[in-house]
Amino acid sequence: MATFNALLVEKQEDKSFTRSVTQRSLDDLPDGTLLIHVHYSSLNYKDALSATGNPGVSRNFPHTPGIDAAGTVVSCDDNRFKKGDEVIVTGYDLGMNTAGGFGEYIRIPSDWALAKPDGLTLREAMVIGTAGFTAGLSVQGLVENGVTPDKGDILVTGATGGVGSVAVALLAKAGFSVVACTGKKEHESFLKNLGASKVITRGELLENKERPMLKEQYAGAVDTVGGEYLAQAVKATQYGGTVTCCGLTASDDLNVSVFPFILRGVSLLGIDSVQCPMPPRERLWGKLADEWKLECLDDLTEEVTLSEVNGKIDAILKGQISGRTLVKVQN
């Protein structure tokens, strides 16, 4: 292949950023031991930050975003994989300052990739993507901290988002009763179809936000938005419960007193998918392909092409997307 298609973000002289599907060549890709023909990627909130020039995510332009990629191996210099192997790449530097999955080819260090588990197709793997893997890490964190379905409801914030929607579905599959908090009450039936037993508005979660503690309502929570929503989740978690924290779509701030921690023994668990070491990464992907395999993956997915992903970038920044956006990269 002399050239291939990629979504290219370019920084203009007036410091604005433009995006277009452009022809790139393999010489444009960085050095690396593993060359992958990308079949699918997915849109994550971080991709939108990268595509709009957020310096906390991407500093070097022109740049191709896409923190997720699934495809087949073209060549592997260190023999970790062989030609034709199906692999998944999420996190590390992919799509940040390394050309990412919104291009038909990526070249990366081979230790960023894992062999696709048999129970998933490449397409299903990218419906899950970073968002779904992060939801998996969050649910796993609750379970490993002793939160079990008999202990009570689990709150999920940002519930219609990528991480939130997969978390709702995974928790329901694992037998938990899920209270989904959303700014899109009109999507109540979407959330109930994924397995939520109750849907509340952001306003309801923020009631009595001036109080340092709230009535014990949840055995645990998966927070994806941060700020006062995360604070309310911590304050409303019952004795011994756990709240996971992975995101900041509302705010990167957290203003909460120590009382929930020292009077109720509540745990706050940080979730990071980017540097998650390979052995637990492979174990969790194995679980997502097997006992946690979701039957509803198609119900929470919208499939777009490389040229269509452009419009979705603005929508995800405004919190307007529900579920997962799968990007079909290969023509």
Binding site for ligand NDP (CB under 6 A): 44-46, 130-131, 134, 158-164, 182-184, 202, 224-225, 229, 246-250, 271-274, 316, 319, 321
Minimum CB–partner distance for residue 188 and ligand NDP (Å): 10
**Complex with ligand NDP: residue 156 or 329, whichever CB lies closer:** 156
Q: Which is nearer to ligand NDP, 22 or 52 (CB)?
A: 52
What are 35's strand-pairing partners?
A: 75, 107
CB of 127 to ligand NDP, least distance (A): 13
Q: Which is nearer to ligand NDP, 76 or 245 (CB)?
A: 245
Helices 122-144 & 162-173, crossing angle to 10 degrees?
A: 70
| 105: helix, strand or coil | strand
CB of 247 to ligand NDP, least distance (A): 2
Which residue has the CB atom at the shortest distance from ligand NDP?
161
Q: Parallel, antiparallel, or unpaired for β 178-182 and 154-156?
A: parallel
Backbone phi, psi, residue 289, to 5°: -95, -5
Nearest to 243 by CA among 225, 212, 270: 270
Q: Rounded to an integer, what distance in angstroms lies between the CA atom of residue 66 and that of residue 108?
A: 13
Which of residues 176 and 229 has its CB atom nearest to ligand NDP in the complex? 229
Provide the minimum distance between the beta carbon of 82 and ligand NDP in the complex, in angstroms, as a whole number. Answer: 30
C-alpha 45/C-alpha 67 separation (Å) is: 10
Smallest distance from the beta carbon of 179 to ligand NDP, in angstroms? 13
Least gap, CB of 214 to ligand NDP (angstroms) = 18
Question: What Rg do the C-alpha atoms of the chain give, in angstroms?
Answer: 20
d(CA 213, CA 211): 6
CA dist., res. 218 & res. 316, Å (int): 28
Q: In terms of CB distance, is 157 or 177 closer to ligand NDP?
A: 157
Please, which residue, 5 or 130, has the CB nearer to ligand NDP?
A: 130
CB of 253 to ligand NDP, least distance (A): 12
- Residue located via tokens 């999920």: 156
* Nearer Cβ to ligand NDP (4/161): 161
d(CA 159, CA 167): 8
List the beta strands (DSSP E) in 169-315: 178-182, 198-201, 218-223, 237-245, 267-270, 301-305
